Amino acid sequence: MAKSIITRFHVLLLGVIIAITGTAAYKVPVDEGLAMHWDAHGQPDWIWPPEIAFAVVPVIAVVVAMAFGFGALLVPKNRLEMARHVVEPALSAVLALGVCIQFGLLMIANGSDFDIIRILAFAVAAGLLLLGILLREAERHTYAGLRLPWAMPDDGVWRRTHMIAGWAYVVAAIALGTLAWLQPFPSTLIIAFPLALAVPVLLARLASLTARSAS
């Protein structure tokens, strides 16, 4: 198996992001601001220049893909193969998130009242759902998973930590998606993003401490 983790699917996702960006460069006038969010009265309250709004995602996507690619070259091949089942889907999730955001921006530029924060929240929720599933399958002797000191002592602690964190991320994904559907205020969603990422790990740590004190 080749050492590179950049697959044809990843290249396809990058191509879609670049294609959307090219379409925006051709169709969207640069002198028109891009409404990124609307207030409770239906008035746009976040206005970005389109050349900046459409440049952010492709730059980040290319940088992330290059980081994954060069990182794979630095990792021993046997270690990379053990972590491939997590690393490749993780890169796919990041690039798919970029596609969702870029497509949402294009829709907004063409007159849709899509809320970019909601789009981002739904995409992050999908990524957290995938992360939760993958964490439950992560093996201890790889570079994948929650490689934190308290999660590493033995296989039992590893499995318990990742099972709890995995299910917690699934719940966080459902909660974030529900919040994005029901909540009209961007500040609430912005606060929910870091909580959805951090709370599952904290719950896994708390469960580990509880199990240790009970033993």
6: CB partners within 8 A, 6+ apart: 65, 68, 69, 72, 91
Q: What ranges do the domains of the chain cover?
A: 1-114, 118-130+140-215
Q: What is the per-residue pLDDT for 148?
A: 55
Q: What is the per-residue pLDDT for 197?
A: 79
Alpha helices in the chain (DSSP H): 8-27, 50-74, 77-109, 116-135, 155-182, 186-214
Contact of 69 with 95, CB cutoff 8 Å: no
Phi, psi of 41 (to 5 degrees): -95, 5
- Side-chain half-sphere exposure of 80, counting CA atoms within 13 A: 17
pLDDT of the chain, 215 residues: tens digit per residue: 455 778 889 999 999 999 999 988 888 776 677 766 666 555 666 777 888 888 888 999 999 999 888 887 777 777 677 667 667 777 887 888 888 888 888 887 777 766 777 777 888 888 888 888 877 776 655 555 665 555 556 667 777 777 888 888 889 899 988 888 886 666 677 778 788 878 877 777 777 666 565 55
Contact of 98 with 123, CB cutoff 8 Å: no
| CA angle (172 as vertex; 71, 35 as ends), nearest 5 | 80
Question: What CA–CA distance (Å, rounded) separates 61 from 37?
Answer: 23
Q: What is the per-residue pLDDT for 1?
A: 42
What pTM, to 2 d.p., does this model score? 0.62
Contact of 198 with 168, CB cutoff 8 Å: no
